[in-house]
Copies of this chain bind each other. A is one copy, B any other.
Amino acid sequence: MPTPSGHTRAIVASRVTGTRVYNPQGESIGHVEDIVLDKMSDKVMFVVLGFGGFLGIGERYHAMPWSMLDYDKERGGYVVTLSREVLEKAPTYELNDLLKQDGAGQAPSLDYYAKFSAH
């Protein structure tokens, strides 16, 4: 979640998707591939962070809590306050696997990130 800055708290999903994501050192760690919603409630289940790959091949995905994305206006993207080592050890998935079984990647991912969340 961004630090309150006086801006509207509403944002459309289409603007979130495609936004670049950085670590605190300013290195790009990927982009928001999509946002997973829960059909049975009004919750955002998690955000799909895409990274790696080349020319569309080999891209991998993290399932990351929406609350971990802090928008940084100067950088024009989200900052995720995790070190590179932590991210490298995070669970990664094929995109389809994230959605199967009610967002299969969610539980192990959210457990993983909960340890590091400053919020």
A interface residue numbers (CB < 8 A to B): 1-2, 4, 8-14, 16-17, 34-45, 48, 65-67, 71, 98-103, 106
The answer to whether A14 and B40 touch across the interface, beta carbons within 8 angstroms, is no
The answer to whether A9 and B66 touch across the interface, beta carbons within 8 angstroms, is no
* Interfacial chain B residues near A8, Cβ < 8 Å: 99-103
Chain B's nearest CB lies how many Å from the CB of A14?
5
The answer to whether B36 and A11 touch across the interface, beta carbons within 8 angstroms, is yes
* Interfacial chain B residues near A102, Cβ < 8 Å: 8-10
Shortest 7 CB-CB contacts between residues of A and residues of B:
A10-B103, A13-B13, A13-B35, A12-B34, A42-B44, A9-B39, A9-B102
